[in-house]
Amino acid sequence: MNKIQNYISGKLQSISTNQLDVHDPSTGEKLSTVVLSNKEDFISCIQSSKKSQLEWAKETPLKRSRILSNYKNLIENNISLLAEIVSKEHGKTLEDAKGSVIRGLEVVEFACGIPHLLKGEFSQNVGTNIDSWSIRSPLGVCAGITPFNFPAMVPMWMYPIAIACGNSFILKPSEKDPSCAIKLAELFSEAGLPDGVFNVINGDKFIVDEILNSKEISSVSFVGSTNVAKYIYEKAAKNLKRVQALGGAKNHLVVMPDANLDQAVDGIIGAGYGSAGERCMAISVAVAVGNIGDALVDKIKLKAENLKVAPWTDPESDMGPLISKEHKEKVESYISRGEKEGAKLVLDGRNLKLQGYEEGYFVGPTLFDEVTASMDIYKDEIFGPVLSVVRVDTYDQALKLVNEHQYGNGSTIYTSDGEISRNFTSKCEIGMVGINVPIPVPMAFHSFGGWKSSLFGDHAMHGTEGIHFFTKLKTVTSRWPKSIKSGPEFVIPTN
């Protein structure tokens, strides 16, 4: 049985003998085990990261950029392999896994521009013969803790930029699908990254707490569920670290009566059921405004019931299984709760059995109509293929729903009215907004992050926000005073 170890100082290694099973979600079978690292593993990791960072920070940004460029080529050459590793442990379709690796690769491409991105500001003559400029310096050792749903893309929102900025990086991937992180680290070594600059440590809450308590770690980047995000934010800040902690979501897609209905339905189907709804930018609520409700529900039902639910090995699969048996049970319990709460169950994904995959963690596309804001299926993040339709009379009621929800990750509106779309863009309390676009995920050169309970901290991920998060700002004021009259000044200088 394959044992997934840590990747420290360019080597696969682990000291702890504790391990956890990793399953194939399509069959429920055990694929491998992953080490649950102990204190000794952590000490060896942190020593390696600390030592390597001191040397790495001395490399010029151009040299770092060239290594990133080699890395970009290696990822491109290994996309199929990386996608297979993701699909095998996560269960998502191969094409979807490939897409997620490409979205991560785009962050590497962005980070290749680091000589340009680290250029500071310069002002000549801020005072007479005085110049001022800014420098962005690395933080030191940075850490990232990541969720199961994007084992390539989410870590790649973090470490390429952190490392480009001159930091070393410790990644603690999800224990549910940890293999991709190891392959990504091996490829970075192959690209010429010095040993120890990118270490991967596997484990559970124990290692997360070691990271949060370590005095050697300067920053923590987290992506995962909201309760854990809050815990990370509070504990890391208490230990005086810089922190960005991205949490859960409940993304609304508002359909106005003047929307192109077929486009809206296609958007809802892909964003609601793609990756079995296990995306932080999945659409889990469709808000039908005015008289569009009946037609919207009919069209969603027709398309959703024809989706092909199958393992990733089937090239025609539209969506795969959920990540674990426990998660399948949780999603199914929400479907039962929705029925009890009085929502109308239009399509029921429970009790789906695929021949040959009876022990897999599959739940079929599920659709609720007549959902209200007081129901748990509306309030909670379910993180499965369960879509709720809420009907309202007016645009203002739709906006109120979006703004009063505890989560503020993404939201989108389908309309042909420019004034409404402009109003929505400026009034919604949401970090990432779409206009006739179902999943408004920002590209690598913009920044990814939500509002409210979807992000704790000051900075979103990647883009300029990433550069700022992974560097400290220094501002220099300078003059060369050969002919200036000497003597102390007791008044604050002004121009």
Among residues 45, 112, 180, 280, the one annotated as catalytic is 280
Distance between CA atoms of residues 230 and 248, nearest Å: 11
Residue 224 binds to ligand NAD (criterion: CB under 6 A): yes
Q: Are 246 and 465 in contact (CB under 8 A)?
A: no
147 lies in the site for ligand NAD, by CB under 6 A: yes
Residue 198 to residue 65: CA distance in whole angstroms: 15
CB 140 within 8 A of CB 170: no
Pick from 74, 53, 51: nearest CA to 167: 53
Q: Near ligand NAD by CB under 6 A, which window of 97-105, 220-228, 251-259, 391-399?
A: 220-228
Measured from the CB atom, is 194 or 270 closer to ligand NAD? 270
Q: Binder to ligand NAD among 41, 96, 175, 177 (CB under 6 A)?
A: 175
- Binding segment for ligand NAD (CB under 6 A), chosen from 25-33, 79-87, 126-134, 223-231, is 223-231
CB of 438 to ligand NAD, least distance (A): 16
Is residue 205 within the footprint of ligand NAD (CB under 6 A)? Answer: yes
DSSP-based helix, strand, coil % in the chain, nearest 5: 40, 25, 40
Distances (CA, A) of 271 to 319, 359, 376, 384: 11, 26, 21, 11
- Any contact of residue 170 with ligand NAD (CB under 6 A)? no
The residue from 450, 457, 463, 466 that contacts ligand NAD (CB under 6 A) is 450
For residues 357 and 317, what is the distance between their CA atoms, to the nearest angstrom? 14
Residue 396's contacts (CB-CB under 8 Å, 6 or more residues apart) are: none
b/e burial code for range 420-455 (CB count within 10 A of at least 16 → b): bbeebeeebebbbbbeeebbbebebeebbbbbbbbb
Pattern 386-425, binding to ligand NAD, x per CB under 6 A? Answer: -----------------------x----------------
CB 165, CB 114: distance < 8 Å: yes
Stretch touching ligand NAD by CB under 6 A, among 118-126, 145-153, 184-192, 309-317: 145-153
Residue 427 near residue 277, CB atoms below 8 Å: no
List the structure tokens of 175: 């224990």
Nearer to ligand NAD, 338 or 449 (CB): 449
**Candidate ranges 2-10, 58-66, 224-232, 355-363; the one touching ligand NAD (CB under 6 A):** 224-232
Give the C-alpha separation, 245 to 357, whole Å.
36
* Size of interface with ligand NAD, in residues (CB under 6 A): 28
Q: Is 198 in the site for ligand NAD (CB under 6 A)?
A: no
Q: Which of 170, 208, 243, 287 binds ligand NAD (CB under 6 A)?
A: 208
CB of 128 to ligand NAD, least distance (A): 49
Closest to 143 measured CA to CA, from 34, 39, 242: 242
Which of residues 105, 118, 139, 223 is near ligand NAD by CB under 6 A? 223
Least separation in angstroms between CB 44 and ligand NAD: 20
Regarding 6 and contact with ligand NAD (CB under 6 A), the answer is no
- Distance separating alpha carbons of residues 56 and 285, to the nearest angstrom: 46
Q: Which residues contact 478 (CB under 8 A, 6 or more apart)?
A: 130, 131, 132, 133
Instruction: Write the binding mask 242 to 281 for ligand NAD: x where contact by CB under 6 A, - elsewhere.
Output: ----xxxx------------------------------x-
Does 100 participate in binding ligand NAD (rule CB under 6 A)? no
The three-state secondary structure class of 249 is coil
CB of 62 to ligand NAD, least distance (A): 31
Q: Is 280 a catalytic residue?
A: yes
List active site positions: 280
- Interface residues toward ligand NAD, by CB under 6 A: 145-150, 154, 172, 174-175, 204-205, 208, 223-225, 228, 231, 246-249, 280, 381, 383, 409, 450, 454
